[in-house]
Chain A
Amino acid sequence: AQSVTQPDIHITVSEGASLELRCNYSYGATPYLFWYVQSPGQGLQLLLKYFSGDTLVQGIKGFEAEFKRSQSSFNLRKPSVHWSDAAEYFCAVVNPYSSASKIIFGSGTRLSIRP
């Protein structure tokens, strides 16, 4: 069965510092990979996605993620965080062979920003 692991429950970084959120997946083949952000009181918003091709993908709000097949990882990065980036971040996968496209989410990483 597919699964997604986000090993960090909570991370605090200083404003302006770089950020990396970890994500590992377990799946027989390469799934479709996503990062979502959920700000307080807001719905989930898609930051970026990887289907195939270039393993470094760019997303909205200055985020990027790198797919590493050998490590089954899809870590999210941002070179300089802003206070508005404080939110919950979810890594997610979709089975590319399923017609349902249901999303399997990781448990989330809560990001706090230190002024």
Chain B
Amino acid sequence: GAGVSQSPSNKVTEKGKDVELRCDPISGHTALYWYRQSLGQGLEFLIYFQGNSAPDKSGLPSDRFSAERTGGSVSTLTIQRTQQEDSAVYLCASSLYSTGYVNEQFFGPGTRLTVL
């Protein structure tokens, strides 16, 4: 079956521009995560969606970052007024959800963002 897909695979943008990164989770997975992988910070959690619950935004580094998940499936991570320190690989993961149990998160290939 299809895994987690992300688009675009690479994005080069100029400082100050807005970017949108897309994630298509595995069908049936109700939990969706965004992580960022950068040279200085390693792999860090950004945001978590579960069904219709309010997202856990505790990892978003600034108010320039936002994400939404429409219809409980596709998610878009938006970075406004990009800065050079936003350059990183943005990873999306999805998992089944069950109360009291940690399910495996399946990761997409990532979007490499370069801010010039």
B20 within 8 A of A: no
Q: How far, in whole Å, are A90 and B45 apart by their CA atoms in the complex?
A: 14
Mark contacts of A29-56 with chain B using CB atoms, 8 A cut-off: 1 yes-contact digit, 0 otherwise. 0001000000001111110010100000
Would A102 and B48 count as touching, CB distance under 8 A?
Answer: yes
Instruction: Choose from B35, B107, B110 the contact partner of A45 (Cβ within 8 Å).
Output: B107
What residue of chain A has the Cβ atom nearest to residue B9's Cβ? A41
Instruction: Choose from B4, B42, B56, B109 the contact partner of A102 (Cβ within 8 Å).
Output: B56
**Which residues in chain A, 80-106, are within 8 Å of chain B measured between CB atoms?**
90, 94, 96, 99-106
Would A43 and B31 count as touching, CB distance under 8 A?
Answer: no
Inside 8 A of B93's CB, which chain A residues have their CB? 44
Min Cβ gap B91→A in Å is 7
The DSSP consensus for interface residues of chain B is strand
Mark contacts of B83-114 with chain A using CB atoms, 8 A cut-off: 1 yes-contact digit, 0 otherwise. 00000000101010001001111011110000
What residue of chain A has the Cβ atom nearest to residue B109's Cβ? A43
Would B102 and A32 count as touching, CB distance under 8 A?
Answer: yes
Mark contacts of B7-39 with chain A using CB atoms, 8 A cut-off: 1 yes-contact digit, 0 otherwise. 000000000000000000000000101010000
Q: How far, in whole Å, are A41 and B112 apart by their CA atoms in the complex?
A: 10
B61 within 8 A of A: no
Q: How far, in whole Å, are A105 and B31 apart by their CA atoms in the complex?
A: 18
Would A44 and B91 count as touching, CB distance under 8 A?
Answer: yes
Min Cβ gap A60→B in Å is 12
Q: Kindly name the residue among B33, B43, B105 whose own CB sees the greatest number of chain A CB atoms within 10 A.
A: B43
Min Cβ gap A56→B in Å is 20
Q: Top 6 A-B pairs ranked by shortest CB distance?
A: A105-B43, A44-B107, A43-B107, A102-B45, A107-B42, A43-B109
5 more A-B contacts (CB under 8 A) besides A101-B48, A104-B45, A105-B42?
Answer: A43-B91, A46-B104, A100-B48, A106-B42, A107-B42
B residues sitting closer than 8 Å to A (CB atoms) are 3-4, 31, 33, 35, 42-45, 48, 50, 56, 59, 91, 93, 95, 99, 102-105, 107-110
